[in-house]
Structure 1
Amino acid sequence: METFVSKVNSIMWSLPMVVILLLIGVYFTIRMGAPQLRLIRDMVGQLFHGGTSSAGISSFQSFSMALGGRIGVANIAGVAVAIHLGGPGALFWMWITAILGAPVAIAESSLAQLYKHKVGGEYRGGPAYYILEGLGRHWRWLAVAYAAATVFATTLTGPQIQANAVTAATTEAWGLDPLWVGIGMAVLFCVVVFGGMHRVGRVAGYVVTVMAAAYILVGVLVVAIMWQQVPAMFGLIFSSAFAAESAYAGMLGAAISWGVRRAIYSTEIGTGSGAQASAAANVSHPVKQGLAQGFSAYIDTLFVCTVTGLMILATNSFNVVGPDEKTPIVTHLPGVEEGPAFTQIAIDSVLPHFGPPMVAVAVFLFAFTTLLSFAFYAETNLAYLIPNLTVQGVAITLARLLLACSMVFGATQTSAFSWGLADLGVGLYTWVNILALVLLSGMAIKLVKDYDRQRKAGEDPVFDPAVLGIENAPLWSQIHAEYRRTGDADAAMDHVADHAPDTREMPVITPEMRRQD
């Protein structure tokens, strides 16, 4: 099984995916006018606007929920794996992926907001929704493929690496039994997730904010103590990124591949995962939430992943293997498996006895919020696949229980097998979303330009789908109609969230689709 998964991943995560994703990022950067730089102020400001409602959550809660999915074991264990398999230069390519990927996150999250629906009294959306309604009924198969692949990944393959990393870290710190750690995580997960979307949003908001801040502070402290190593460390990152360092000659492909691969897994850029959390936000313009999600890529990679990488490199707490993934090139930690242990040893070498427990707690909390986000993503796609609310409710309950069981199973597996399964699941729905983003790129660009037009006019953007000739965005039509009546965007959003009927037992069908029938 492990050999099969490895072969499939070598095809799925080959050079074409890396090149296509980076090219999409370049394209959006040019056509949107470099929003990842030009609109940074709006990105930050949007995190503190927009309130909760009966149907939706605040922009910050949505941001935190998506960030909970992004900040996970990939920020600690994933960075270590990237350095181990791609060398120190992999960190540079993670940075490039985050910078070029931010406009991709803006695009997919804005599209999710545009085509969101009210289902069972809550806002739902994401790639499955915007594929069908943005491209038409003849693309229904692609929407179903995305939804099915996401349910598979978030309930079966993804949870395993989260639990596996937690058990690796807790075993290193306290010698806890992996099986009981997995069972404990599963029980705690069920307690939280059965509380509904609003509880998930609150938990993710509190946990991610506090833990990410604490982890970054510890990382900055470690790097500050090792300040004399910093110039040489950055020199090593940049030189090995292009295989200019003699020790890493011949590893250019590995540096790029593993840097981009782990950055995609960490940030979820291009996968459409964060877009599903974005659809739940209560905002007055789709691009507002797109900007918030674009900023999450910076926090995830440029802050959290970078802190991990700098700690590992500054303290020489890493091993590197060649492109064959077997031949040792650099061995600073003989016998130590790549993963959380690299980071634990890095911190412990500077702050004795603090590294193992600190990283164990961080990995647990990061993994747990990722698991909560997985539950939300699975529910969103089941809501798409199963319109009948009664059957849908049963399916969601089963999915939550299956996710919990996957944690227990993953807790006892090897790290290599768990990472392989995780990459398989992410790769399946990422390829689908990449195709959708290419086909819907024009609409995403129009949304950003509409936002820019209102900002230049000195207005707080409120979206009117009629301006762009969009006829199948019923929630936005209602919000804008209410805004015209009251002149208050917040009141209009709250009114529609609280009083609008469900907009979907099946997705809205455009006049064009009716003509096709």
Structure 2
Amino acid sequence: MKDLQTISGWLWSTPMVLLVLGIGTVFTVWMRVPQIRRIPDMLSQLKSGGGSDRGISSFESLAMALGGRVGVGNIAGVAAAIGVGGPGAMFWMWLTAIVGAAVAVVESSLAQVWKEEVEGEYRGGPAYYIEKGLNAKWLALAYAVATILATTITGPTIQANSIAVSAKEAFAIDPRITGLFVATLFCLVVFGGMKRIGRVCGLMVPFMAIAYVLVGIVVLVVNAEHVPAMFRLIFESAFGMDSMFGGMLGAAILWGVRRAVYSSEAGTGSGAQASAAAEVSHPVKQGLAQGFSVYVDTLVVCTITGLMILVTNSYNVLAEDHSAVVQYLPGVDAGPAFTQNAIETVAPGFGAAFVAIAMFFFAFTTLLSFGFYADTNIAYILRSHRHERTIIRVFQVVLAASILVGSFRKSDFAWSLADVGLGLYTWINLVALIPLVPVAIRVFRDYERQRKAGEDPVFRPENVGVTNAPLWDSIADHYERTGEALPAADSPMKDHQR
């Protein structure tokens, strides 16, 4: 356990914080704050993007990415950030989300540029753009292996553990029964492939997010008189100006950034893999859609969790030496219990059950996204090997087994394992993005040039100096001719694309 915490500490130390914020700032400045300027385009793309037999719609891709982003980090992770970093961690989560949205736009656009057609479906992501954009296959393989490890073994443990713990506390259900139920349900969905995952996420994600936010708004309205003081506490604590939390500035920054990255996945490359599966006429269209998903995850869902906890004083804060800085809930560990208690202050007898149900939806859609990400990276490594589908199925079963095991593991172990897995492939992706900055800028400016000319942007790789993205030749030809999604995957065009 100590070894895991040590490795996690290395991966998520100050250099990681500086790298995430630094890369996000570079993209924000060079692309002239696209995550703010292009919000209308983000919303427009979610309404107009259509799917095809090869690719899912922009909304389904967004829902799949949100399924990965909106997970236990939005409840347990936010509580952990407050418990160790104090109320000021909320501000640094917000800042990371705004800056991180630019990173999400870039990595998702690059995933679209170098996507491939695998077994009649679009696949892409960091492994693909690292190999083709940097000609660094060894690094691409490292990312793929790290992601497979994280999405089949390390990541599922915390999702399953959080579901099981919440179900036990709310309904007294044996964690082994919960684990078996979740693992079985996971297999029923993920064995149906990308299309089924996209449809299920498209149905579950909006429902769970809206219901959760509405409950949070009720808690804030009931405690409206305390809201101004709560925001003042957040901002003063964020800069070490609050007398109680003045000595926690470093912890507030570290844990705010750490949990924002864990929750939003900006910079990890995870959402980029869902982006590559979408059917669009220009890579930046889906990049903008994924930038918006960071806002939904962190600025909406994570924020509502933090505000519920803070406005009701449903939290404890521990200093670095584990001494109590604030102890409003004696004996309660940082986690879902903070949120449960916040809701209980408004609706006694409702909090535990509601958080348990929310935790199930949040974590289950994350597990589905994990299944898709593992599939994408295994497909990258095997490259249409004759036993590819069998091997993918084996890894899906391993993921299901991780769900079972994770449901009765200690939560501290599960969190440390998840942090290590996520940290490994995040480092690889962030390092790879640095030399790809010029390409990303050219692709984005190509989109802006066409928008300024009043055109519906269509991507031609040669216009931005990309010569190894042949799939886009036929995509662009078809969109320019018809303005519609590509025809069925078994059409003559398929041979041309390959």
1:371 corresponds to which letter in structure 2?
L
Query: What residue in structure 2 maps to residue 385 of structure 1?
Result: 381
Q: 1:345 to 1:439 in 2, by over 3 A?
A: same
Query: What residue in structure 2 maps to residue 112 of structure 1?
Result: 111
TM-score of the two chains, using structure 2 as the length reference:
0.98
Query: What residue in structure 1 maps to residue 163 of structure 2?
Result: 166
Q: 1:502 to 1:83 in 2, by over 3 A?
A: farther
Q: Are residue 334 (structure 1) and residue 330 (structure 2) matched?
A: yes
CA distance in 1, matches of 2:496, 2:134: 19
Query: What residue in structure 2 maps to residue 287 of structure 1?
Result: 284
Q: 1:343 to 1:502 in 2, by over 3 A?
A: farther
Q: Are residue 225 (structure 1) and residue 222 (structure 2) matched?
A: yes
CA distance in 2, matches of 1:60, 1:181: 30
Q: 1:427 to 1:497 in 2, by over 3 A?
A: farther
Query: What residue in structure 2 maps to residue 515 of structure 1?
Result: none
CA distance in 2, matches of 1:483, 1:315: 53
Query: What residue in structure 1 maps to residue 390 of structure 2?
Result: 394
2:484 corresponds to which letter in structure 1?
D
1:278 corresponds to which letter in structure 2?
S
Matches within 5 A, 1:286-435: 286-324=283-321, 326-435=322-431
Matched position secondary structure for 2:54? coil
Q: 1:499 to 1:122 in 2, by over 3 A?
A: farther
CA distance in 2, matches of 1:197, 1:422: 24
CA distance in 1, matches of 2:64, 2:476: 26
CA distance in 2, matches of 1:373, 1:502: 29
Query: What residue in structure 2 maps to residue 261 of structure 1?
Result: 258
Query: What residue in structure 2 maps to residue 511 of structure 1?
Result: none
| Equivalent residues of 1:474, 1:503 under 8 A apart | no
Alignment counterpart, residue 483 of structure 2, candidates 489, 497, 500: 489
1:220 corresponds to which letter in structure 2?
I
CA distance in 2, matches of 1:234, 1:218: 19
| Equivalent residues of 1:208, 1:369 under 8 A apart | yes
Give the gaps of 5 or more residues in structure 1. 506-517
Matched position secondary structure for 1:338? coil
Q: 1:377 to 1:205 in 2, by over 3 A?
A: same
1:501 corresponds to which letter in structure 2?
K
Q: 1:502 to 1:147 in 2, by over 3 A?
A: farther
| Equivalent residues of 2:54, 2:488 under 8 A apart | no
Matches within 5 A, 1:88-107: 88-107=87-106
1:378 corresponds to which letter in structure 2?
A
Query: What residue in structure 2 maps to residue 147 of structure 1?
Result: 144
Deviation for aligned residue 1:394: 1.4
Alignment counterpart, residue 494 of structure 2, candidates 495, 501, 517: 501
| Equivalent residues of 2:474, 2:496 under 8 A apart | no
Matched position secondary structure for 2:267? coil
CA distance in 2, matches of 1:11, 1:392: 35
Matches within 5 A, 1:146-225: 146-225=143-222
Matches within 5 A, 1:61-140: 61-136=60-135, 139-140=136-137
Q: 1:109 to 1:329 in 2, by over 3 A?
A: same
Q: Which stretch shifts more, 42-51 or 288-297? A: 42-51
1:462 corresponds to which letter in structure 2?
V
Deviation for aligned residue 1:501: 3.2
Alignment counterpart, residue 242 of structure 1, candidates 230, 239, 243: 239
Deviation for aligned residue 1:147: 0.2
2:397 corresponds to which letter in structure 1?
L
Deviation for aligned residue 1:482: 2.9
Deviation for aligned residue 1:98: 0.3
Deviation for aligned residue 1:109: 0.1
| Equivalent residues of 2:43, 2:289 under 8 A apart | yes
Q: 1:444 to 1:495 in 2, by over 3 A?
A: farther
Deviation for aligned residue 1:412: 0.6
Query: What residue in structure 1 maps to residue 3 of structure 2?
Result: 4
Query: What residue in structure 2 maps to residue 510 of structure 1?
Result: none
CA distance in 1, matches of 2:343, 2:395: 37
Q: Are residue 59 (structure 1) and residue 49 (structure 2) matched?
A: no
| Equivalent residues of 2:474, 2:497 under 8 A apart | no
| Equivalent residues of 1:73, 1:367 under 8 A apart | yes
CA distance in 2, matches of 1:103, 1:122: 27
Deviation for aligned residue 1:503: 8.6
CA distance in 1, matches of 2:242, 2:72: 29
| Equivalent residues of 2:119, 2:384 under 8 A apart | no
1:451 corresponds to which letter in structure 2?
Y
CA distance in 2, matches of 1:208, 1:226: 27
Give the gaps of 5 or more residues in structure 2. none
2:477 corresponds to which letter in structure 1?
A
CA distance in 2, matches of 1:452, 1:52: 23
CA deviation vs aligned residue, 1:247-279 (integer Å, no higher than 9, x gap)? 112211110000000000000000000000000
| Equivalent residues of 1:56, 1:497 under 8 A apart | no
Deviation for aligned residue 1:504: 9.5
Deviation for aligned residue 1:498: 5.1
